[in-house]
Chain A
Amino acid sequence: MANPDVLKHVAEIVDGYDCRREALIAILQDIQNEYKYLSTEALELVADKLGIGVAKVYSVATFYENFSLEAKGKYIVKVCCGTACHVRKSQPIYDGLREYLGLKGKQKTSGDGLFTLETVACLGACGLSPVMTVNDEVYPKMTPESAIALLESLREKEGESRAQA
């Protein structure tokens, strides 16, 4: 992310909040929204512009679950592991997707950089449990099979558009 355009845009985001220190979380959210993760350079720039230590920015960025310091895949897949989804068997969905994506240990992003698999603690769509989201679109009443089929279709779509390009 260290290219000058990106940093320029990060600076614009911070300026958009008048460099107010209390807006730190909102600033990080906007940067994350745009680039899906927070790079070291971006964090340093934010700290510099707000006039606070990098350690402070880092402490906030690592405290909140939504922030990521690592680049993410094109599709962010979140499996809900809230209580309602849990009692309607969401764990096998997560396990199935991990296996499908070949994720090992702490790895969250698939080897091809297409998918990042995460869990989320309740989306509040408990009536449709178990649910998962792909880039914030909610998919209701999933099973391990339908979840894998969904990722499969996204993968195919990517393959096609790559072939066309």
Chain B
Amino acid sequence: MPKRKLTRERLDALRAEAKTLLAADSREVLICAGTGCIAGGSLNIYDRLKALCEERGLHTRVSLRREENDADALHFKKTGCHGFCEMGPLLQIEPDGILYTHVKVEDCEEILEKTIIGGKVVERLLYELDGVKYPKDAEIPFYQRQTRVVLENCGATDAEDLTEYIARDGYAAFEKALFEMDSEEICREILDSGLRGRGGAGFPAGRKWDSVRKQPEGKKYVVCNGDEGDPGAFMDRSIMEGNPHSIIEGMLIAALAAGSDEGYIYVRAEYPLAVDRLRTAIAKAEELGLLGEKIMGTSFSFRLHINRGAGAFVCGEGSALTASIEGKRGMPRVKPPRTVEHGLWSRPTVLNNVETYANVPLIIRKGAQWFRSIGTEKSSGTKAFALTGNVVNTGLIEVPMGTTLREIIFDIGGGIKDGKKFKAVQIGGPAGGCLTEEHLDMPLDFDSLKSVGAIIGSGGLVVMDEDTCMVETARFFMSFTQNESCGKCVPCREGTKRMLEILTRIVNNEGTMADLDLLESLSDTISEAALCGLGQAACNPVKSTLKYFRDEYLAHVVDKHCPHCNGKKKGLVIDPEKCKGCGKCRKNCPMEAISGEVRKPHTIDIDKCIRCGACESNCPFGAISEEA
């Protein structure tokens, strides 16, 4: 059967029909099928509950298709990440909005009998906070304080159902851009919206697109950076898994603006599910005619490919990423020329990250003014963050730019795990810096973060409690960067190696004060001289911990004892049996921590003692030793 060619009228008709189907979709069972919940067994829950429903003779269906249309059927959906990963696996029942947490396969029968058939709530599966049970997800503080715009469809829709995406105004922005706007207007709209790249540096997306548009005619590329390598970040993964069509639509609009007909999505190898979902989404978009030659009867063609990364962090850097797509070692090159002039296969290239593209359809559909109404003046819109570490509610969140850390960590995140005290939060991954108590009320946006030596980066927020040693944390990040250094430029290749040696020495209590100075001067040199962003930013964690947690470095270097790494400080004690009261220890103690009368056993005041060992080495009777 020859495929009917997609036209604008047909897409509108499809959308109208999809909307009717969606409106008639009265009962839904949503099972979170993000990586987190799948690891918790959510797919088994999906299978079991669906099978149980069918055994009971209930009608079920798995997509928004006309032939499956049955107003009473239970619509089973595998959704993208719902965000509340700490509480997973998650199961939601619509239209009541009931959210069940920590669901197990054994709970399926009770959910079927009580909720699906009986219309009652299974109390024990509800989220509970401070003795209050929350039957509906919208009322849970974790969700209530968020503004979910980009993530709106993640967790609410079936990630693999194109019809549902269309029913929720999907591809309407592309349609508008294709038929009603020229390339200049699209660039202007994106520029006016103030959308800045969500991948790190925060460069205005509209300006990037416009630069590519103004390049001489010829082959141009649109590339999506899905190489989300920052440890502790999974926003982009969640969007790729939960709302893949929004990325495709964003890239289509970018291609229209830039005059490109071919695009690539570069996805980390560690995200197999994201690759699957994107592949499915591309296949479905091609089948419908949203991707391919002469789309909807216009002269615009666009083909989209997926490239899988092979485990090199540096490929998140623009020129390394394009080298990797070309089948080469992913090593950055000297810039300029920039990617906009000299990108993939030396052609002008629009390169943005996943979240940036996912914002684009919303801006085109709802307008630049709407986007500007969210966030701050210079950082408009929202930002998705992955909230992890020693925080109560780990998960994926989205808040307006300018939200404070306090709101994120304490109101949404529920504070620090196990009632401990907050110490610091690492923002922006290994290229970012750590922020402390004093920054809790600072608005999170591109510029204020930059002013304190951190970056939004891709948006990982790793919370650390009072038990975390910041020197060890700095060493951890340095070992990551050192391992991922591509080796092309000397400052990064050699510099990070030496920095790691010094930091390891300090962590092992073998460092000296000169090491601290050396760390500072090496940091400055590497930041100045490294070839790419990875190297330039490699020292940020060291710089910021040296600035805000110098006392912890001193604990390792001077005291040779870190309360976090080495446990409770062991003091030195004088054995009264062996001590003759000669007073040599008292005279040699630089802290005046030793007291006693001549010819009587002396004692050491542990609070004053810095464990320098001067007393121990000067005692002629071997009476001084470490506390048992």
| A88-B308 contact given A125-B35, A136-B272, CB 8 Å threshold | no
State the CA gap A126–B326 with chains docked (Å): 31
Which residues of chain A are near B395, meaning CB under 8 Å?
127
Indicate whether B329 reaches chain A with its CB closer than 8 angstroms.
Answer: yes
User: CB distance A87 to B464 under 8 Å?
Assistant: yes
Query: At the interface with chain B, which of A1-9, A61-69, A103-111?
Result: A61-69
Question: In whole angstroms, what is the CA distance A86 to B394 when docked?
Answer: 15
Q: Which residues on the A side are within 8 Å of B272 (C-beta)?
A: 136
B390 at the interface (CB under 8 A from A): yes
11 A-B pairs in the complex with CB atoms less than 8 angstroms apart: A21-B327, A60-B328, A66-B311, A83-B460, A86-B231, A88-B389, A123-B35, A123-B270, A125-B35, A128-B85, A129-B388
Given contacts A24-B327, A81-B231, list 19 more A-B pairs with CB under 8 A. Answer: A60-B328, A63-B330, A64-B309, A64-B312, A82-B231, A83-B231, A83-B429, A83-B477, A84-B394, A86-B476, A87-B473, A122-B230, A122-B232, A126-B394, A127-B88, A127-B396, A128-B39, A139-B39, A140-B39
Give the complex CA separation of A64 and B266 in angstroms.
15
Verify if B36 is at the interface (C-beta below 8 Å from A).
yes
Q: Is A153 an interface residue (CB 8 A)?
A: no
Taking beta carbons and an 8 Å cutoff, which residues of B are in contact with A? 35-36, 38-40, 85-86, 88, 228-234, 237, 269-272, 307-313, 324-331, 386, 388-390, 394-396, 426, 429, 460, 462, 464, 468, 473, 476-477, 480, 483-484, 486
Q: In angstroms, how far is the closest chain A Cβ from the Cβ of B352?
A: 20
Q: Enumerate A5-30 residues with CB–CB distance to B below 8 Å.
A: 21-26, 28-29
Q: Identify A87's interface contact among B269, B386, B468, CB under 8 A.
A: B468
User: A residues within 8 A CB of B486?
Assistant: 63
A84 touches B325 (CB 8 A): no
Residues of A within 8 A of B (CB): 21-26, 28-29, 59-60, 63-67, 81-84, 86-88, 120-129, 131, 136, 138-140
CB distance from A120 to the nearest CB of B (A): 6
Q: How far is the CB of B583 from chain A (nearest CB, A)?
A: 46
Instruction: Decide if A122 touches B231 in the complex (CB within 8 Å).
Output: yes
The answer to whether B270 and A83 have CB atoms under 8 Å apart is no
**A10 nearest CB across to chain B (Å):** 17
Bound complex: CA A36 to CA B312 (Å)? 18
What A residues does B476 contact at CB under 8 A? Answer: 83, 86
Give Cα A59–Cα B40 distance, bound, in whole angstroms.
39
Minimum distance in angstroms from A108 CB to a CB of chain B: 15
Taking a contact as CB atoms closer than 8 A, the residue among B228, B312, B394 that contacts A63 in the complex is B312
In the bound complex, what is the Cα–Cα distance between A131 and B232 (angstroms)? 12
Across-interface contacts of B35 in A (CB, < 8 A): 123-125, 138
Evaluate whether A29 and B310 lie within 8 angstroms (CB atoms) in the complex, with A23-B327, A121-B229 already known: yes
Chain A: minimal CB distance from B235 (Å): 9
Distance in Å: Cβ of A128 to nearest Cβ of chain B: 5
Which residues of B have CB within 8 Å of A67? 310
Q: For the complex, what is the distance from the CA of A90 to the CA of B88, rounded to whole Å?
A: 20
Q: Which of B232, B312, B328 contacts A84 (CB 8 A)?
A: B232
Residue of A nearest to B38 (CB): A138
Bound CA–CA A131/B328 (angstroms): 31
Most interface-central of B327, B329, B395, B464 (chain A CB within 10 A): B327
The reply to whether B329 and A63 form a contact with Cβ atoms under 8 Å apart is: yes
Q: Is the CB of A120 within 8 A of B38?
A: no
Q: Which of A26, A125, A138 has the most CB of B within 10 A?
A: A125
User: Does the CB pair A84–B269 fall under 8 Å?
Assistant: no
Q: Which residue of B lies closest to A126 (CB)?
A: B388
Taken together as a complex, chains A and B put the C-alpha atoms of A86 and B307 apart, in Å, by 29
Instruction: Assess the B234–A124 pair: CB atoms within 8 A.
Output: yes
- A64: chain B residues within 8 A (beta carbon): 309-312, 330
- A138 and B41 CA atoms in complex are apart in Å by 10
Is the CB–CB distance between B388 and A83 below 8 Å? yes
